[in-house]
Structure formats: C-alpha cells, structure tokens
Structure 1
Amino acid sequence: MQHFSGLDAVPAEFGPAVVTIGNFDGVHRGHIAVLAQLVAEARSRNARAVVVTFDPHPRRVHRPDVELELITGAEDRAALIAASGVDALVTIHYTLDFAQQSPDEFVRSVIVERLGACAVVIGHDVRFGRGNAGDFDTMTELGAQHGFEVIGIDDAGHDRRWSSTWIREALAGGDVDTAAEILGRPHRMRGEVVHGAARGRELGFPTANLSADATGVIPADGVYAGWLLDHGGTRWPAAISVGSNPTFDGVSRQVESHVIDRPEESVEDFDLYGQDVLVEFIARLRPMVAYHGVEALIEQMNDDVDRARAVLAQDTANT
C-alpha cells in the first residue's frame, strides 16, 4: 500500500480511483465492510482502491476542549487499512481552514482533480464540507456532475451500527469482550516500555509499564488477561493492571503487564525497557480495589495470574 502524507504527495494523473473517505478510528468491522466493498469495486473497474482520512481527528480540531482518545494510533490504523488490500492511503492534515471548503470544493479538489475518482464508496450517514453541509444525496448529485458513481454501504443485520463511539463506551466500562466483537479482534494499545516504581518486581510480579504517550484507548481500571507482543513479534501471556493501584499512595494511572510463565532460561535476559510493544486485552478479571496490607495484595495477584493463565489457554484453543 502506498501512503501519501497530504494531497500534494499524490502523483499527477493518479487515477482512475475508487475512493472512500472517513476517520477510520479503530478500523472496526463496519470499516472493514466498507474497505472490502472499496477493493471489490476497484478491482472490477481496473482502478486503484484509495482511502482518504484525516490527521488530527476532525473532532479534536473543532472541539479541542473535549478530550477524544483515539482507539488506534496512526501507525496501527495505517497497518490495519493496508491489511484490507487497498492500494493507497491519503492522510490529509486537517485544519480549520481545510474545513471551510464547501462540499463542492472538497469533492472537486480532493476526489476529482487529485484522485481522478470513477466511483466513491461511502455510508449513507456520510457528512462532509463546511458545517457538514454535504450528505449522501449531495455526494450523489456531485457525482453526476463530475462523472463518478456513488455506491452506498448499509449497516445491515445489527441491532446497533458498528461505531467507534460504541467501542469507546465499551472500553470505558471495561467491557473488552464487546469492544472485540465490534472491532473484529481484541483491543490493543501500543507504547514504549518505561521504568516504573518497581513495586511489582519487589512483590515478585515484575511488570512492563507503557509510557504515558502510548496510543489506544485505556480501558477502565482493573485487572485483565491479555497478551504482550514484543518488538520481535513474540506473543507473551500476561496479567495486565490498569489504574493507579489504590493499595499505594501517590501512584499515577498506569498500564502494566506482568508476563506469566516465561521459560526459565529467558527470565534473566527478559528486558523490554525501551522496546515498542503491543498490549492486547482479552478479558477483564476484576475491578481495581485497595487491599489491607501487602500480603493480601500478593495473594490476590497470584489468583489474578492463575485466572489469566486459564483465560489465555482458552483463547489460544479458540484461535
């Protein structure tokens, strides 16, 4: 997949192309359906399958006062889009000036003149142009004017439309099962492993702590069973703690993964500091609670590891 940072990076006479437009945060099952239709249409027309997306997320530009956690970082979003088989990804730097284009100006400058679209694949709830004035009917009318077909995608067969909002709601409640159902895969975070307070190591449960700038929505506080994927691609079973650890004072919110059942020969050499890793959430084991004394905490952590081991053995059996 070619990845163009901005419209100016797209070569002249790039088309013909079949184009879709969206934020694609999470690249969930609804997005995957759109991308599959995009690729199929492009192949049938001997054209390029092209995704147009935006960075930063438009909501962060229009509502900078409202925090918006992205489900996937830019790197993972691009990789997931590439896996769908599209030919090109165009990431447009989104600004308030860019947002002032009328629907017609947007279509002409992006879809027609730069990408040479012969077809556009979009959902019926699409909005675009200044003040979100453009909708599906607008795109259809502009397609007739500029010579491209508009193909609508419906979310059929679900009680609720797959959406990034639904995923965020699920993760806010610690419901990683529902998030995985919408995503079509477990929810992940990506970040560098950094040094922490070493309390886990002192208690016999060393952890890999994600940096504060890790990408991906942090699920609700609690303990989870999951996987840690290291820089070399090895997938380690883990008990994952999310929260500020209320048993100890003055601890900021963290995502810490305790890798379980490492081979004995790797224990001394197992150093993840400075590595970029993925943390994958499979199941929530319990909420985060405070314990009266270190002994009670250690007993609970041993139980967490046992439960995580059982959950991940079943997860392995199901894959």
Structure 2
Amino acid sequence: MQVHRSINNLPQFKNSVVTIGTFDGVHLGHQQIIKQLKEEAERINGETIIITFHPHPRSVVTAKNPVYLLNTPDEKISLLSSFGIDHLIVVPFDKSFSEQTPDEYVVNFLFEKCRPHTLIIGYDHRFGKNRAGDYHLLERFGKTLGFTVKEIPERLINDITVSSTRIREALLAGEIETANSYLGYKYFFEGMVVDGNKLGRTLGYPTANIIIHDEDKLVPANGIYVAEAEIGEKATVNNERSIVGSPLTAHRSPLLQGMMSIGIRPTVNGKDRTIEMNIFNFNEDIYGCIMKVFVCQYLRKEEKFNSLEELVNQIDIDKQNSLQYFEGLKKG
C-alpha cells in the first residue's frame, strides 16, 4: 500500500475507486466498505484509494473537547494495509481545509486530485463546511464530472449501526467484549515499558508499567482486564509522539498471556493513572521496550482493599479467571 501524506503531486491513478472517511478503528462497518471498494476495483481493473484525515476533523472543527482515537496514525495505516488497499491518502486536515464548501470539496479536491472512476461511501457520509454535503450532491456532480457514486446502506453494515463513537463509548464503559465485537479484532495499544515502584514484584505479581506516548490514543476504562502482549525492541519516540521500533516477538505463537490493571491503585494511595501488565510465566528484562497489548476481557472494576493481603487474594482470583478465559479459547 502506498501512503500519500500530501494532496499535492499525487500520481495519476488508473480507474480509481475511492472511499472517504476517518476510518478510526477500521471496524466492521469500515470493513464492509473496504470489501465493496475492492470488489468494484477488481471489476473495472482499477486501483483502490482510501482518503482519510489527520488530525481527526472533529478535533479541528470543534476543538473544545479532545477526541480520543481508537487508532494512532501508524496503527490505522497498518490495519488498512492488511486489507490489501493500493493507496492511502492522509489529508493534513486544518481549518482552511474544513472551510471548503461541499462544492469546492468535490471539484477542487476530490475530482482534481483523484479523478475517481467510482466513489463508494457509507450511508451517513457527510463532507464540506458544516458537513452540508451528502450522497445526493456527490451523485449530481458525478453526472457532470463523469464518475459513479455508490452508497452502502445501513442494513449491509452488519445489521447494526457500527460507529467509532459507539466503540469509544463501549471502551470507556469497560464493555470490552462489545467493543471487540464491533471492531472485528481485539482492541490494542502500544507503549513503552518503564520503571515502576516494583510493588507488584513484592506481592508475587511483577508488572510491566506501560507509558503510551500518543496522548490522543484512547485508553479503556479503569479496571482489571485479561490481556495478551507482544514485546518489541528498545523504543524511541518520534516527533509525532508515536513509538518507533520493530516487534521482536511476532513469531511467538500464541501471544504472551496475562492480566492488566488500568487505574490509580487506590489500595496503595496511588494518584496517577497507570497501566500495568502482569505476564504469566515470564521473567525477562523488558525495560525500555515496546509492548503491544491486546485487551481481551473485562474482569472487574478497580477497588480499594483494606490490606495488601486482601489485594493479593483478589489478584489470585483475577489470575484464575484470566487462565479460565485462555483455557476457554483452547476449547474453542
């Protein structure tokens, strides 16, 4: 997949079949659109193009509240690439771009830059200033400019309204199974393993403390989770606050199993929110390494216990419940 981070000097596409959207999460609804995109491109011997935006348009247009994302830019690129897309255009979204009228958006951007043969959009696609453009406007321009517009109706998107917003809400409510069912994969994030206070080691449950450097990445609700992990090489952080490093354990199958805590550790009077992962049967030095965490199942809410002994007793139960989850996977 070729990634184009500028809308200037794009190549001349052949019979381009284009879809547009933020594609945050690359969830099952998005996957239905991608499926039709590829089928149409194969039918006309054309190229598939996905147009997406960075930063998220809502963070530019309505900047009052932060928009927490399901995918970092690199994660989104990786997911879309796995579906065999030919081209990804990442539009640098700013105030000027957002102020285009729907007509300007279609003519000056969409048509002039991509020369689409076919446009495929979801049933609720809106564009241009105040999101005033819709399917009917695209259809009208298609007749004059010579491209076809195809709309995917809501009923084809898994018979449910799958949306990135709904998935965010589920993750923030600890409804991880719901979020994963909408995504079509286990929600994941990457971070760097850093030094902690090593309390877990004294309790018999050493943990990897994880720092996520992309502040826009959504972290699920506080609580205890079943999780899997993949360990990578020593990490560095680039100017976009993304973590850079190649996975070292991609060959390990299955992934490393464990449990994860997200929260403030109230039993020890913690104040800062932390992410800690206890990996079962694992004793390697991974400080400074990338860790990719796949969130499997929500176990319970974070609690304050009267003593460390009570805390350990509950962690013992959490581990047993986690092992039961993994055992269930083996049985299918």
Contact 2:123–2:154 (Cα < 8 Å) also in 1: no
Which position in structure 1 is the counterpart of 2:288? 274
1:217 partnered with 2:218:
yes
Which position in structure 2 is the counterpart of 1:87? 86
Alignment of 1:187-266 (within 5 A): 187-214=187-214, 216-231=217-232, 232=248, 233=250, 234=252, 235-262=255-282
Counterparts of 1:55 and 1:113 in 2: how far apart (Å)?
20
Shift of 1:305: 1.2
SS at match of 2:120: strand
Which position in structure 2 is the counterpart of 1:34? 33
Q: 1:295 is aligned with what amino acid?
A: E
Shift of 1:213: 2.2
Alignment of 1:39-58 (within 5 A): 39-58=38-57
SS at match of 1:271: coil
Counterparts of 2:225 and 2:270 in 1: how far apart (Å)?
22
Contact 1:209–1:254 (Cα < 8 Å) also in 2: yes
SS at match of 1:97: helix
Contact 1:226–1:312 (Cα < 8 Å) also in 2: no
Counterparts of 1:305 and 1:135 in 2: how far apart (Å)?
50
SS at match of 1:31: helix
Alignment of 1:127-138 (within 5 A): 127-138=126-137
Shift of 1:2: 0.4
**CA 1:316–1:253: 2 relative to 1, 3 Å:** farther
Contact 2:53–2:90 (Cα < 8 Å) also in 1: yes
Which position in structure 1 is the counterpart of 2:111? 112
Alignment of 1:95-110 (within 5 A): 95-110=94-109
Shift of 1:4: 0.6
TM-score, normalisation: structure 2? 0.90
**Aligned-pair RMSD on alpha carbons?**
1.5
Which position in structure 2 is the counterpart of 1:174? 174
Which position in structure 2 is the counterpart of 1:283? 297
Which position in structure 1 is the counterpart of 2:72? 73
SS at match of 1:89: strand
Shift of 1:47: 1.0
Contact 2:61–2:98 (Cα < 8 Å) also in 1: no
Contact 1:101–1:130 (Cα < 8 Å) also in 2: yes
Shift of 1:316: 4.1
1:183 partnered with 2:197:
no
> Size of the alignment, in residue pairs?
311
Shift of 1:9: 4.7
User: In the TM superposition, what whole-angstrom CA distance separates every residue of 1:265-319 from its partner, at most 9, and x where no partner exists?
Assistant: xx2xx1222222211111111110001111111111111111111112223443x
Shift of 1:5: 0.5
TM-score, normalisation: structure 1? 0.93
Counterparts of 2:274 and 2:10 in 1: how far apart (Å)?
40
Q: Percent identity?
A: 32
Q: 1:251 is aligned with what amino acid?
A: K
Contact 1:194–1:274 (Cα < 8 Å) also in 2: yes
Shift of 1:159: 5.8
User: In the TM superposition, what whole-angstrom CA distance separates every residue of 1:37-73 from its partner, at most 9, and x where no partner exists?
Assistant: 1111111111110000000000111122212110111
Contact 1:190–1:216 (Cα < 8 Å) also in 2: no
Deviates more, 1:291-300 or 1:195-204: 195-204
Contact 1:188–1:216 (Cα < 8 Å) also in 2: no
Counterparts of 1:91 and 1:238 in 2: how far apart (Å)?
36
Counterparts of 1:199 and 1:256 in 2: how far apart (Å)?
11
From 293, 305, 312, the equivalent of 1:298 is: 312
1:151 partnered with 2:150:
yes
SS at match of 2:66: coil
**Runs of at least 5 residues in structure 1 that lack an aligned partner in the other structure:** none
Shift of 1:106: 1.3
Counterparts of 1:73 and 1:57 in 2: how far apart (Å)?
10
Deviates more, 1:206-215 or 1:239-248: 206-215
Deviates more, 1:123-132 or 1:195-204: 195-204
1:8 partnered with 2:22:
no
Which position in structure 1 is the counterpart of 2:239? none
Q: 1:8 is aligned with what amino acid?
A: N
**Runs of at least 5 residues in structure 2 that lack an aligned partner in the other structure:** 233-247
Q: 2:78 is aligned with what amino acid?
A: A
Shift of 1:172: 1.3
Counterparts of 1:148 and 1:107 in 2: how far apart (Å)?
11
Counterparts of 1:72 and 1:291 in 2: how far apart (Å)?
34
Contact 1:242–1:256 (Cα < 8 Å) also in 2: yes
Contact 2:190–2:212 (Cα < 8 Å) also in 1: no
Runs of 4+ in 1 over 3 A off after TM superposition: 157-160
SS at match of 1:114: helix
SS at match of 1:125: coil
SS at match of 1:66: coil
Which position in structure 2 is the counterpart of 1:20? 19
Counterparts of 1:229 and 1:186 in 2: how far apart (Å)?
13
Deviates more, 1:64-73 or 1:154-163: 154-163
Shift of 1:251: 3.2
Counterparts of 1:261 and 1:206 in 2: how far apart (Å)?
11
